[in-house]
Amino acid sequence: MTTYRIRLLPQDVDFDAGEDETLLSAARRAGFILPHRCLIGACASCLCRKLSGEVNYQLAPMLTEREQAAGWILPCQAKPRSDLVLTLE
Ligand code: FES
């Protein structure tokens, strides 16, 4: 399994995420609890911004193309496709 390095701002901490796990799960495994509620991509509680890198979704996320172009992702559904820099700010 391919593993990617995820940097989380503003805490400036790193954790590893496998290509088949969601960013929320990978963060939790590393001891970082990200905001969340529904875990199914519907509530947007987990919304955070991707400053660099690529993510993938099994199903199309409930985000507009414009939101995705601005970097918004749903970590409860997004899986990494590269190293990433994310910000909760
Ligand atoms: S936790 Fe609800 S959309 Fe991610």
Residue 87, classed as helix, strand or coil, is strand
Nearest-atom number in ligand 1 for the CA of 37 is 1
Question: Six-digit token pair at 51?
Answer: 């400053």
| C-alpha of residue 12 to centroid of ligand 1, in Å | 22
pLDDT at 1: 85
Beta partners for residue 48, in sequence order: 73
Mind listing the domains of the chain with CATH numbers?
A: 3-87 (3.10.20.30)
Taking only the tens place, the pLDDT of each residue in 41-86 is 999 999 999 999 999 999 999 999 999 999 999 999 999 999 999 9
Which residues does a 6 A CB cutoff place in the pocket of ligand 1?
A: 36-39, 41-46, 74, 76
The pTM of this model reads 0.95
Taking only the tens place, the pLDDT of each residue in 18-48 is 999 999 999 999 999 999 999 999 999 999 9
Nearest-atom number in ligand 1 for the CA of 76 is 4
Question: Six-digit token pair at 48?
Answer: 């955070």
| C-alpha of residue 8 to centroid of ligand 1, in Å | 18
The string of DSSP codes covering 32-81 is -----S-SSSSS-TT-EEEEES-EE-SS--SS-HHHHHTTEE-TTT-EES
The residue nearest atom 3 of ligand 1, judged by CA position, is 41
Q: 76, 27 in Cβ contact below 8 A? A: no
pLDDT at 63: 96
